[in-house]
């Protein structure tokens, strides 16, 4: 009798875990790509409030000028930068368990935080991590001048 109950329990647990929703790599790639599009939208609308929740508290970025900024500094720069046009190209997301790497090209025109005109063409790498609450956040970003 005990063996029958044990097999029933094993079968029930197997069925239950199979029915539990699992994120596939394709789902994660789409989710992270959508977050990247939200980031782009924040630049298009000059609204850093759209990107703030996407950045982890300990977010760090390295700009194409070599400067390293934390989340607060990055958001202050985003607020002071005014884009007239921005776009991404060649964006790809690669998943490694609870980490995803987004790479792509960025083109932007407008004025930098000091008010000087800018016309940039860069490559970016963003590192996203699935946080304990289940949400994906960017923990690091790096940009380099696109040749």
Mean pLDDT value of segment 4-23: 44
What's the whole-model pTM score? 0.83
**For residue 2, what pLDDT band results from cuts at 50, 70 and 90?**
low
Percentage with pLDDT > 70 across the chain:
84
Give bridge partners of residue 141 from the DSSP assignment.
61, 126
Reported as a single tens digit per residue, the pLDDT across 36-63 is 999 999 999 999 999 999 999 999 999 9
Among the listed residues 34, 108, 32, 123, the one whose alpha carbon sits nearest the alpha carbon of residue 77: 108
Residue 3: predicted pLDDT: 54
Q: How far is CA 78 from the centre of its chain?
A: 16
Question: Which domains can be identified in the chain, with CATH numbers?
Answer: 24-145 (3.10.450.50)
Residue 9: predicted pLDDT: 36
53 vs 62: CA distance, rounded Å: 19
**For residue 21, what pLDDT band results from cuts at 50, 70 and 90?**
very low
CA-atom Rg of the chain in angstroms: 20
Query: When comparing pLDDT for 22 and 123, which is higher?
Result: 123
Q: Is the dihedral of CA 79, 82, 84, 90 positive or negative?
A: negative
Reported as a single tens digit per residue, the pLDDT across 89-109 is 999 999 999 999 999 999 999
């Amino acid at each position: 009798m005990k063996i029958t109950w044990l097999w029933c329990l094993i079968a029930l647990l197997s069925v239950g875990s199979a029915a539990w929703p699992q994120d596939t790599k394709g789902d994660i790639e789409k989710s992270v790509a959508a977050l990247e599009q939200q980031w782009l939208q924040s630049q298009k609308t000059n609204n850093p409030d759209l990107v703030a929740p996407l950045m982890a508290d300990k977010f760090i970025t390295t700009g194409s000028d070599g400067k390293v900024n934390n989340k607060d500094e990055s958001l202050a720069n985003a607020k002071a930068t005014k884009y007239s046009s921005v776009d991404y190209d060649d964006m790809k997301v690669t998943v490694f368990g609870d980490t995803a790497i987004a790479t792509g090209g960025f083109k932007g025109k407008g004025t930098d935080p000091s008010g000087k005109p800018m016309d940039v063409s860069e490559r970016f790498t963003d590192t996203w991590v699935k946080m304990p609450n289940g949400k994906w956040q960017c923990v690091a970003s790096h940009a380099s001048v696109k040749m």
